[in-house]
A and B are shown apart, each in its own frame.
Chain A
Amino acid sequence: MAENFGAALQLVFDPMTLLVVLLAATFGLIVGAVPGLTATLGAALLVPFAFFLDPVPAVASIIAMSAMAIFAGDVPGALLRIPGTPSSAAYVTDQYALTRQGKGSLALGVGLIASVIGGLVGSIVLILLAQVLGRFAMNFSSFEYFWVAVLGLTAAVIISSGSQLKGAIALLTGLLVSTIGLDPTVAEQRFTFGSSELMGGVGFIPAMIGLFGLSEVLRNVVKRRSQLPTTPTIKTKGMIRDSAREIVKHKGKVAQGSAIGSAVGVLPGAGADIAAWISYAVSKATSRRRSEYGKGSTEAIAGAGSANNAGLGSAYVPTLAFGIPGDTITAILIGVLLVKGVQPGPELFTTNAPTLYSLYLVFMLANILLIPLGFLLIKGSSLVLRIPRAALMAMIVAVSIVGSYAINNSYVDVLIVLVFGVLGVLFERFGIPLAPVVLGIVLGPIVERNFMSSVLLTGWDFTQFFTRPISAVLIALVLAMLAVPVIQAVRRKPAAVPEPEVEDVK
Chain B
Amino acid sequence: MSAVNNEPSTRPSQTAPAQTRQGFADLVIAAIITAVAIYVLISASGMRRLSTGDIGAGLFPTVIGTLLLACAAGLLAQHLIRSRRAAAGDATSDTLATSSATDVASEPADSGTGDDAAAQPAAAEDDDADDRTPGWRLGLNAGVVLAGIVGYVLVAEYVGFVPTMFVILLGIQLSLRAGAVRSIAVAALLTAIMYALFQWALMVQLPAGPLGI
Contact = CB atoms under 8 A, between A and B. Distances in A.
Interface residues of A, number: 88
B182 interface: yes
A394 B169 contact: yes
A82 B114 CA distance: 11
Contacts of B57: 183, 185-186, 188, 190
Interface string A428-463: 011110000000000010001000100010001000
Nearest to B68: A172
B7 to A, nearest CB: 6
Contact of A186 (B48, B71, B130, B144): B48
A457 B186 CA distance: 59
A227 interface: yes
Contacts of B110: none
Interface stretch (A56-64, A129-137, A407-415, A478-486): A407-415
Interface residues of B, number: 88
Interface stretch (A243-251, A256-264, A309-317, A397-405): A397-405
Nearest to B63: A175
Contacts, number: 236
Interface in A136-182: 161, 165-166, 168-169, 172, 175-176, 179
B210 interface: no
A389 B6 contact: no
Given A232-B119, A401-B165, A82 B149 contact: no
B61 A179 contact: yes
B113 A226 contact: yes
Contacts of A38: 2
Nearest to A40: B2
A402 B206 contact: yes
Nearest to A427: B29
Contact of B47 (A190, A228, A432): A190
B146 A422 contact: yes
A395 B116 CA distance: 26
B85 to A, nearest CB: 10
25 contacts: A83-B4, A169-B29, A186-B48, A186-B57, A222-B141, A223-B138, A225-B130, A226-B130, A391-B186, A393-B145, A393-B176, A397-B172, A398-B190, A402-B161, A402-B194, A406-B202, A406-B204, A421-B146, A421-B149, A429-B25, A430-B28, A460-B54, A497-B11, A501-B5, A503-B2
Interface of B: 1-8, 11, 13-14, 22, 25-26, 28-29, 33, 36, 40, 43, 47-50, 54, 56-57, 59-61, 64, 67-68, 71, 74-75, 78, 112-117, 119-120, 123, 126-128, 130-131, 133, 138-139, 141-142, 144-146, 148-150, 152-153, 156-157, 161, 165, 168-169, 172-173, 175-178, 182-183, 186-187, 190-191, 194, 198, 202, 204-206
Interface of A: 35-36, 38, 49, 52, 73, 80-89, 96, 161, 165-166, 168-169, 172, 175-176, 179, 183, 185-186, 188, 190-191, 214, 217-218, 221-230, 232, 273, 277, 388-391, 393-395, 397-402, 405-406, 409, 411, 414-415, 417-418, 421-422, 429-432, 444, 448, 452, 456, 460, 497-498, 500-505
Given A176-B36, A188-B56, 17 more contacts: A86-B6, A165-B78, A168-B71, A172-B64, A218-B146, A221-B145, A221-B172, A226-B112, A388-B182, A391-B182, A391-B190, A402-B165, A411-B157, A421-B149, A456-B50, A497-B11, A500-B11
